[in-house]
Amino acid sequence: MESGGALRLEDVAFRGQQEGAVGVKAGRLVVQGARFEPGGQEAVGISVEGMSAVEVRGSTFSGPWRRGVHVQGGGEVLLEGVRFTGAETALDQEGGRGRLLRGTVEGGRGPGLLVRGGSIAIEAVTISGHEYGLAAQGASLEVRDFTSVRAQRAGMGLTRTTGRLQDIQVRESGSFGALQLVDSDLELRGFRIEDVDAYGVVATRGRLRVSKGHIARVRSSDGFTGEGLHLRGVKAQVEGLEVRDAKGAGVLAAQGTEVDVRDARLRGCKQAGLLVESLSEMQATEIEIHDTEGPALAVLRDGRLWVEALTASGLAEGLVWAECGGSTRVRLGLVRSTNLQGLSAPCVERVASPPVPDKARGGEGAPRVLPP
């Protein structure tokens, strides 16, 4: 069916189409309670062109559609209560404006949702499998209550993208990490990432604001690395982060990253709690680091780290490891730790701390406060 005006489809089934079910050239299409089943793997369920407006509610797309819904141009599309099963890509949006509410996507090979340009609002959507849960390039996003499970590469892969991501869950994602962010300006708030490969969140260039997040059980396929938060060339603010059982570092800053970390709890991060590589700067306040197989803090040559209010224990290789040389600097304020190894390095500066409560002084194995 092709439409160039106003069309309403209710309780209609499309089956066996080799190329497409519905094409909207102009005007407005409303679909309620429809069923779409393709006749070939190159078919498109609904194709939207130009300035058309499309609403699809309470409908299903079953089978190997190449695209469930394909939007091209400056049109608008609303998908509410729609289920996609087996489509290579459920929604492919090129420009325009989209809204996706209370939907499920499962059983496909390509990106579950693909957005190139334009803007989209996504709320209460679950994606199982697929290459990416959501892939976006040059787009503006408002995402809330989004879940990706078993993505082959990453739960989200976002490039040159702006917007806000809130209440995000990613589990069992592939080798590109849970969230892969490149050249983007994003706010990530309220997220939970578990059992992922390589990275929890990896950001390259751009800006990132992170708050109220939990990352657990991160390791690469070779079993040797896996960072909770991996930053390269990024300007970032991080607050209220918890990382548990990461094979690499809890937070890694590299390649000119500038990051401010506040109120972070890092436990079981094997390589280090905080790791600063060359030409990067990190300021960290109110940090807890426990149970590492390396040091609590690691700084490579020409890295700079400032830490205030650190509590640490269970450190296999001491409090600080620093590769002094060049512009390497480590500045430590109030520190409570059962292991103060590494303080004698020439690039480590110790600053005065407030008086120590009695309970922090006594007993074998009690935390010791770094003296001025």
Q: What is the pLDDT of residues 160-207, one digit of tens each?
A: 999 999 999 999 988 888 999 999 999 999 999 999 988 999 999 999
Token representation of residue 249: 């570092």
Condensed to tens digits (0 to 9), the pLDDT of residues 67-100 reads 999 999 888 999 999 999 999 999 999 999 999 9
CA 208 to chain centre: 10
* CB atoms inside a 10 Å sphere around CB 178: 32
Average pLDDT of the chain to the nearest whole number: 90
d(C-alpha 274, C-alpha 264), whole Å = 10
C-alpha distances out from residue 370 to 237, 341, 352, 360, Å: 26, 11, 9, 12
Q: Which residue has the tokens 């982060």?
A: 241
Task: Place 224 in a pLDDT band, splitting at 50, 70 and 90.
Answer: low
Residues 6+ apart with CB under 8 A from 344: none
pTM above 0.85, yes or no: yes
**C-alpha to C-alpha distance for 225 and 227, rounded to whole angstroms:** 7
Name the CATH superfamily housing domain 6-281.
Answer: Single-stranded right-handed beta-helix, Pectin lyase-like (2.160.20.10)
Q: Measured between alpha carbons, how far is 255 from 6 in angstroms, rounded to an integer?
A: 54
pLDDT for position 311: 94
Which positions ≥6 away from 291 have C-beta within 8 Å?
267, 268, 313, 314
Using alpha carbons, select from 48, 95, 97 the residue that is nearest to residue 68.
48
